[in-house]
Structure 1
Amino acid sequence: MMKMKFSVLILLLCIGAQSFSLAQEATPAAPETKVTSESNKAKNDVDNRIYSLAMRYNDASVAKIKLYELMERNPGNLVYAETLASMYFEMEQYGSAALVSLDLLERNDKNLTALEVAAFSLEQLGALERALPHFESLHLLSGDLFSLYKAGYLQYTLKKYDEALNSVNMLIKDSKAAEQKLNFPKGENNGMQEVSMTAAAENLKGLIYKEQGSNAEAKTAFEAALAVNPDFELAKENLAGLQ
């Protein structure tokens, strides 16, 4: 229903040769490993250049091979795995994206890129119970309101109504939610419309109350959504469905 909002790391490797070289220079190698380090650096430089060319020429298969080689040669540098996870997601290979990101989270459970890819990939795979805690963590660590909305929607879908109400109420109280927009379908085959996140949260709140059989509270929530965005088609339909 909504387009994923996340920062792909593809461009990082396009300028990676320089940044990784600086990182290596920051940690001097021991004398006995100097030759090996220089050899690895040279291989990294070549692989980064090939990766950049592969991305430029839209050859994802070569780009992925180079990422795997860089990951194997530089196990302590997580940017390669982050980029691979993001690439798999962009290619809609959600199973692979989830596996890479979950491996990253085993090493660092606060890795925002891994949390983001894991959350959306698992959701796409239908593993909502597993996706939910990643959305929750993403919000807690970054303050991202879209992740909070996604958490609320999954909580509603999974019938965790108390948790869902807590999430939407947090959104409604946050003044920044009024400044952010979400896209929703506008009637049957009429494209999409943009509404504020506050209106979206009120609409979701109405759905939660409706599922609980609290139609009066649901009506109030749908009306609140329309007070924010009077042309919110989905909220109009939901309100009409109560009558």
Structure 2
Amino acid sequence: MDLSFVASGFAVGLLVGMTGVGGGSLMTPLLTLLFGVVPAVAVGTDLAFASLTKGVGTFTHKMRGTVHWDIVRRLCLGALPAALLASFALKHFGTLNREIGQVIRYMIATSVLLTVVALLFKRKMLAWITAHPERQLQGAALRNATISCGALLGILVTISSIGAGAIGATLLVMLYPRLTAAEVAGTDIAYAVPLTAIAAAGHWWLGSIDWTLLLNLLVGSVPGITLGAYAARAVPERLLRGLLAVTLVAVAAKLIW
């Protein structure tokens, strides 16, 4: 048991519990920058981590009736084929050579910055779309936009392990502004389970999952998420999200430069 990885899992779990932001935007950069884990291995291990933890979350939301399965199906229609294609592309180009590793670093940085945008501007985006109902998509246009967003998320998640959390939730809010916060969270987690599972299976096939590292992260994250959920009540959400946004911007800059 490597205590440094257990501690990292605990720290990320704590932040996820307090902010609700997906662990990928925190865990993957942490493994890459702090511990020098090869980007592809960091991504693959985090995807396996996410598929297990999100499965538990989906069960809870299903019991509460906060999952819109019709939206989940639409997202999966785009996300799952995109994840498979992205896995084959990584296999073709090779995930462990230096050039592809650098591309993955840039993809991680891009996904982190998109997460920052989602963190800072989700409420303003929702306020705008609510104030302009004529801009809200309906019928076939809404279905096709959902499938397209699923495809985009499938590529981002498979290559960077980031996107199924804050970015996915923000897209859901924009497409389906009438969903409650609990329904957004439940639907976002539910579609992410098969997506992260397929993406993780692809990385297993590629040989880019470190199972020992995964176990260490799980040992730390479970108590971290639990404690963070309780601590969130005592810390102002705006302060937490602001600090997290600043941290993620610094992470993205480090990944690029």
TM interval, short-chain normalised: under 0.3
**Structure showing the higher strand proportion among its residues:** 1
Q: Highest CA radius of gyration, 1 or 2?
A: 1
- TM-score (normalizing by structure 1): 0.24
Greater relative contact order (Cα 8 A, min sep 6): structure 1 or 2? 2
